[in-house]
Amino acid sequence: MIIKHSIRCFLKNQKGIYRDKMLFNIRRVLDKYGISKYNFAAFSVHRSVGPGLSFIQGRHEITDRFCPGCGSDLYMVDSPVRILSILEGIHDKVIYGCACGEIFFQFEEK
């Protein structure tokens, strides 16, 4: 499916152009089928209220600072982990994606 492929491409290449294409493809598919949410095993993609915007939600919560797939530290400068989405609230829900393909989230203090 194009959504999974777009996410994998961004996580592997970690360049802005791939992020833009990923978000565009997610929104395009959701708009095409008139749905606001699509579920996968490890994550879901959502249409946001604003025009042309979309976001990703992870399903696997972590409580430490390491990718559950490869053990990479989230906060190192050369980390293969990238922020995919941030859902603001009392505690921000930060959704991460790693070059190893893992998508997960962590609640963080403001």
The pLDDT score that the predictor gives to residue 9 is 96
pLDDT digits (tens, 9 = 90+) for 18-36: 999 999 999 999 999 999 9
State the pTM of this model: 0.89
Report which secondary-structure segment, H or E, holds 36: none
Asked if the model's pLDDT at residue 110 lies above 80, the reply is no
Asked if the model's pLDDT at residue 50 lies above 90, the reply is no
pLDDT digits (tens, 9 = 90+) for 64-105: 999 999 999 999 999 999 999 999 999 999 999 999 999 999
pLDDT digits (tens, 9 = 90+) for 5-22: 999 999 999 999 999 999
Sketch the domain layout of the chain as residue ranges.
2-108
The pLDDT score that the predictor gives to residue 1 is 82
The pLDDT score that the predictor gives to residue 86 is 93
Phi, psi of 84 (to 5 degrees): -95, -40
Query: Quick check: helix, strand or coil at residue 6?
Result: helix
* Pairing mode, strands 81-87 and 54-58: unpaired
